[in-house]
Amino acid sequence: MPSTVLIIEDEKDLVSTLEYNLQKEGFDTRAAYNGEDGLEYARQLPHPDLVLLDLMLPDLSGLDICRELKSGDTTKSIPVIMVTARGDEVDRVVGFELGADDYVVKPFSVRELMLRVRAVLKRGQQEGGPIQASFGILKIDSPGHHVWVNEDEVRLTALEFRLIEALFSRRGRVQTRETLLMDVWGIEADVTTRTVDTHIKRLREKLGEAGMYIETIRGVGYRFRQEPE
């Protein structure tokens, strides 16, 4: 079955262009011209395989919509690509903090956007096998998207969850910032290595005592411990 892309965008001409090109690439499409309709469509079954989300909508902020999607039990696994005229780094960082999978700044190349859509969908399909493991005081349930520290659940964004999965699945091996950018954010993600440091810091803070499992290797990157102690 073809993948379905939900477009949440209030510029009707742009929606028509996106629908034409996505359908030409073999995708099914659905469009919402405001945030409320977009959230409703995203929650309906079957869920879309990916959401293209404008930040500036007439009723709701795209950031609020992303937050709603990524905090909902039935929608948190839907990849989100933000499409916006706001290209400041702070906007990108906030978007990724909320769990966005990629960020495209207008005006953009339609061909580039199609490549990013395929890259995000492919990344989701190629992720390693589900992790269900205990590691000292840390427990990870990849299929259920849960993390516990000392039996207390820790709420992570979708991006933070991908980050801990990437580190944990390669424990004992150093991961450079560039490698993490490629594997967690995606090759096309327009962010800097400083963003990795920001997310690692926030992830450690959320993990509390278990944050010590993520080690900094100065001048190189980060490593998840091979053993808890």
Write out the residue range of the structural domain in which residue 195 sits.
Answer: 132-224
CATH number of the domain encompassing residue 106: 3.40.50.2300
Q: Do residue 100 and residue 147 come from a single domain?
A: no
pLDDT digits (tens, 9 = 90+) for 120-176: 887 666 554 455 688 999 999 877 778 999 989 998 887 888 899 889 988 889 999
pLDDT of residue 122: 77
175: its two tokens: 């991961």
State the Cα–Cα distance between residues 199 and 163, nearest whole angstrom: 8
The residue ranges of the chain whose pLDDT is under 50 are 128-129, 188-189
Q: Do residue 76 and residue 146 come from a single domain?
A: no
Q: Do residue 36 and residue 108 come from a single domain?
A: yes
pTM equals: 0.61
158: its two tokens: 């979708």
Q: Do residue 112 and residue 151 come from a single domain?
A: no
Q: Do residue 168 and residue 113 come from a single domain?
A: no
